Structure 1
Amino acid sequence: MKRYGAARDSGVAAYDVGPGWIVIRFHHGGSYRYDESHPGAEHVLEMQRLADAGEGLNTYINRFVREDYAARLS
């Protein structure tokens, strides 16, 4: 997993991406997979873009995705 750029000021600690999916580890300890089934390809692409940019990902998740994840991993 890659450390998220704004990790100190964000709920997001790290992330990993692949074709059509993103896994996000939050500081509270949980890791979640988001993919084309939940919350959908458009959201996943934007989340990948924000993750690579290193800012805005936690805000985006809180505004548009919330608990619409494909799986809770830990």
Structure 2
Amino acid sequence: MERYRNLSGDSGVEAYEIGDDFVAVRFRPGVVYWYTEASIGEWHVAALKRLARRGQGLGTYISQHAEVNGGYARKEVDD
């Protein structure tokens, strides 16, 4: 995973991984949520990719869009 730049300084996002049709986001304290085109749609995955690369707004976007917040494909604890 790539470390999230956290330009705002107050994000709960630690890191992310981008694939062709998914974004995996690791939040503190090490829980990873996988968002896929199948689970939240291509448009939202594209937005998550853009925000992850930018280093700002990723956690806010996830929390403010109900279909994304509860629409993850899977959740796992990252050691």
TM-score band by shorter chain is over 0.9
Distance apart, 1:9 and its partner CA: 1.5
Which segments of structure 1 move beyond 2 Å, counting only runs of 4 or more?
none
For residue 70 of structure 1, the aligned residue among 61, 70, 73 is 73
**C-alpha RMSD of matched pairs (Å):** 1.2
CA distance in 2, matches of 1:73, 1:18: 17
TM-score by length of 1: 0.92
- The yes-or-no answer on 1:60 pairing with 2:61 is yes
Equivalent position SS for 2:17: strand
CA distance in 2, matches of 1:63, 1:43: 12
For structure 2, the residue ranges without an aligned partner over 5 or more in a row are none
Q: Which residue of 2 aligns with 1:19?
A: 20
Q: Which residue of 2 aligns with 1:40?
A: 41
CA distance in 2, matches of 1:27, 1:50: 18
Residue-by-residue CA offset, 1:19-61 (whole Å, 9 max, x unaligned): 0101000012210110011111110000000000000000000
TM-score by length of 2: 0.87
Q: Number of residues paired by the alignment?
A: 74
Distance apart, 1:73 and its partner CA: 2.3
